[in-house]
Structure 1
Amino acid sequence: MYTWINNYQSIYHDIQKTKTIVYIILSLLVIISCFSIASISLMTISKKTRDIAILRSMGANNLMIQLIFLCYGLRSIFIGTFIGLSLSVIIISHYKKIMFFLEKQFKGNILLDNIYYNHFFLLQINLLDVINIFISTIIIGIITNWYPAYYASKINPSNILKEY
C-alpha cells in the first residue's frame, strides 16, 4: 500500500520546506514587531520622565510605576489585537465577495489559475485559533512591554527634577 507521501515525495518535501520558510518569516515579523513596540514604549517613557519623577517623589514605588506603564502598553496591544482580529474575521468570512470584486475591478483573475484555485480555497474561522492568537498576542505584548516598564521604574527622580 502506497500513500500520497510515498508517490509524491518531492512535492511533499517542497511543501514542508515552504511551510518552514513561511514559519521563519512570520517569526521574524513577530520579533521585529516586538522591537517596534518596545522602542515606542521607551520613547513614551523618555517623554514622561518628568511625570515619573513626580510620581516617585509623591511616593510611588517601583511596582506601581511598572504597572502603570504595563497597562499603558497593554491598552495599545488590546486595541491593535482587536482591530487586527476583527479585520481578519471580516475578510475571511467575506472572501468570495472580495475576490469577485477584485477580479471585476482588475478585469481578470488575480491569482494564477494553474496554481491557485479560487473555488478550492478553504478558508474557515476556527474560534479556538482566534482565541489562541488573542492570548498569544497579549502574552507577547506583556513580555515586550515589561522591559520599558522596568526601565521606567528605575528612573531616579532627583536627577530628573534637577533638570527642570
Structure 2
Amino acid sequence: MDSANAIAFKVNDVLKAQSIARSVGYSLDNYLYIKSWITSQGYLYQDIQMVKSLMYIILLLVVAVACFNIVSTLVMAVNEKRGDIAILKTMGAGKWTLRFIFIVQGAFNGFVGCLLGAMMGIYIALNLTELITHLEALLGHKFLSGDIYFIDFLPSQINYNQVIIITLLAFVMSVLATIYPAWRASNIKPAQELGYSH
C-alpha cells in the first residue's frame, strides 16, 4: 500500500513555522517527526536576535560618548570665551540669553550629527553586501564563505520607524547635554573676568 512518509509545507509567517508545524503534526493520526527551519537553522536566528539586542546597547553607548563630546566641546568653548561672555553680560545680556546661545549651538551640532549619522547608516545598510564585497577584495579575505555558511552575504532590512526614533532620541540627548555648559556660561561673573574689583 502506497502511503506518504513525509509532508512539507510553506508558511507565510516564517517566525510561526514551529508552532504551525506542531499544530499540523498534532492534527494527524500518524506519528511524525516535526522539523522546521527553526529546528535546523534557529541558532542563526537566535544569534541575530542577540546581536540586535547588543547593538541597541552599543548604540546607546555611542550616543552617550557623543553627548559627552558635546559637553566637553561646549565647556572648552565657555573657558575660551569667558572674557567675551563677561563683556556680553556687562552689555546687558541676561543669563537666559547666554544659556539659549549655548543650547542653540549644541542643538545645531547635534542636529547636523544626527542627520549625517542617520543618512550614513541608511546608506551603509542599503549597500552592506556591496561594501563587504569591496572590503573582502581589498583585504583579500572572505568573511562569509559559502562553503562554511549557508549564506555568503549580509542581509539587511531598514526599519524606518526605529531609525526616526533613534535619531530623535539622539537629538534630544544632544540638547540635554548642552544644559550644563550653558548654565556654567551664564554664571560667569563679569567683575572677576574683566579684572574689576567689587
TM-score normalised by L of structure 2: 0.66
Greater mean deviation of Cα atoms: 58-67 or 31-40: 31-40
Q: Is the 8 A contact 2:107 2:175 kept in 1?
A: yes
Q: Is the 8 A contact 1:37 1:145 kept in 2?
A: yes
Q: Is the 8 A contact 1:102 1:110 kept in 2?
A: no
Aligned pair partner of 2:111 in 54, 58, 78: 78
In the alignment of these two chains, the number of paired residues is 160
Change (3 A) 1:115 1:147: farther
Aligned pair partner of 1:48 in 68, 81, 95: 81
Change (3 A) 1:118 1:48: farther
Matched, 1:127 2:160: yes
**1:32 aligns to what?**
65
Q: Is the 8 A contact 1:62 1:153 kept in 2?
A: yes
Greater mean deviation of Cα atoms: 129-138 or 97-106: 97-106
Letter in 2 for 1:63: W
Percent identity (aligned): 31
Matched, 1:152 2:156: no
**2:92 aligns to what?**
59
Displacement of 1:30 in angstroms is 3.1
Unpaired runs of at least 5, structure 1: none
Displacement of 1:39 in angstroms is 1.1
Displacement of 1:21 in angstroms is 5.0
TM-score normalised by L of structure 1: 0.78
Between Structure 1 and Structure 2, whose CA radius of gyration is higher?
2
Displacement of 1:142 in angstroms is 0.9
Higher relative contact order (CA 8 A, sep 6+): 1
Change (3 A) 1:161 1:146: same
Could you tell me how far apart the structure 1 residues matched to 2:186 and 2:136 are? 54
Q: Which has the higher helix share?
A: 1
Unpaired runs of at least 5, structure 2: 1-21, 24-34
Change (3 A) 1:16 1:134: closer
Question: What is the root-mean-square deviation of aligned Cα atoms in Å?
Answer: 3.0
1:3-58 deviation line (CA, Å, top 9, x unaligned):
98xx79xx698777666555444433333332222111100111111111111111
